[in-house]
């Protein structure tokens, strides 16, 4: 009886190590094979197209092209000359305008001296017959100032308008027209106020009495 019991025990206890060994065995890995690279098939060479030679131009064609080129060059030269002339005229006008502006400014400044000279002229014309030595020295000092002012005007091409002769409406302004037994008609009798001009430009006309 003991023998049967031992057999049953042996049958109930199966080997465990073999099952564990089976479970522990790794599964075989799947190896990926690299894809083969695509090889481009070269395109067949294009057939060369035979080039046609340009026809040789004739003498007449070359002469026509030459004449056309000469005409175009003459046209361009004419345009360039016109542009150069216009530029020169523009520069000349700009220079003339600048000169006139400078002259206007100079004339405006110098014209402010005229009233001072008028006062000096009026004072010298009304001096008393007899002066003391001190008064004479004062008068000579003012005459020196007058000469310096006139020198400044002369430096800028400003001069006194002459009044000896015939009346000129471009230079003189008539205050009165009077009968005069010794002078011809339109002759200047006397100057009442000096006039000044800068070159041909009248800055202030002379005030005069005119015979008729």
Q: Summarize pLDDT for 27-38 with one digit per residue, the tens.
A: 555 555 555 556
Mean pLDDT of 55-80: 88
Is-contact 195 204, C-beta < 8 A? yes
17 compared with 183, residue with greater pLDDT: 183
Tokens standing for residue 39: 């090889």
Task: Find the helix or strand (DSSP H, E) in which 172 lies.
Answer: strand 172-178
DSSP, res 130? -
- Structure-model confidence comparison of residues 189 and 47, the more confident one: 189
Residue 184 confidence class, pLDDT cut points 50, 70, 90: very high
**Residue 1 CB coordination number (10 Å):** 5
Superfamily grouping for domain 160-212: Head domain of nucleotide exchange factor GrpE (2.30.22.10)
> What gap in Å lies between CA 48 and CA 12, rounded to an integer?
92
pLDDT for the residue 38: 60
Of 59-73, 95-109, 163-177, the least confident: 59-73
- Listing DSSP states for 106-127 in one string gives HHHHHHTTHHHHHHHHHHHHT-
pLDDT in tens, 76-125: 998 999 999 999 999 999 999 999 999 999 999 999 999 999 999 999 99
Phi, psi of 160 (to 5 degrees): -75, 135
Pair type for strands 172-178 and 206-211: parallel
Confidence of residue 57 (pLDDT cuts 50, 70, 90): confident
**Mean pLDDT, the chain, integer:** 84
Tokens of 147: 């000469």
> pLDDT band at residue 56, thresholds of 50, 70 and 90?
confident
For residue 140, what are its two tokens? 């000579």
pLDDT at 132: 93
How big is the CA angle at 162 (ends 158 and 167), to the nearest 5 degrees? 130
Helix axes 133-155, 114-125, angle to 10 degrees: 150
Contacts 24+ apart (CB under 8 A), 63-66: none
DSSP class per residue in 32-75: PPPPPPPPPPPPPPPPPPPPPPPPPPPHHHHHHHHHHHHHHHHH
Q: Could you give the angle at the alpha carbon of 200 between the alpha carbons of 199 and 205, nearest 5°?
A: 100
pTM of the full predicted structure? 0.60
Q: Give the confidence band of 58 by pLDDT, cuts at 50, 70, 90.
A: confident
């Amino acid at each position: 009886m003991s023998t049967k019991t031992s057999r049953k025990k042996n049958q109930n206890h199966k080997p465990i190590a073999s099952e564990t060994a089976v479970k522990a065995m790794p599964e075989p890995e799947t190896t990926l094979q690299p894809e083969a690279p695509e090889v481009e098939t070269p395109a067949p060479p294009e057939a060369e197209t035979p080039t046609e030679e340009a026809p040789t131009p004739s003498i007449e064609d070359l002469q026509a092209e030459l004449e056309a080129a000469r005409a175009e060059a003459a046209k361009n030269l004419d345009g360039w000359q016109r542009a150069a002339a216009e530029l020169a005229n523009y520069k000349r006008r700009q220079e003339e305008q600048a000169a006139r502006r400078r002259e206007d400014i100079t004339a405006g400044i110098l014209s402010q001296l005229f009233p001072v000279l008028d006062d000096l002229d009026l004072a010298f014309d009304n001096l008393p017959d007899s002066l003391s030595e001190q008064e004479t020295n004062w008068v000579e000092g003012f005459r020196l100032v007058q000469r310096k002012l006139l020198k400044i005007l002369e430096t800028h091409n400003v001069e006194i308008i002459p009044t000896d002769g015939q009346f000129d409406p471009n230079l003189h302004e008539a205050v009165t027209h009077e009968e005069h037994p010794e002078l011809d008609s339109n002759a200047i009798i006397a100057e009442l106020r000096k006039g000044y001009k800068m070159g041909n430009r009248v800055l202030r006309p002379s005030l005069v009495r005119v015979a008729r």
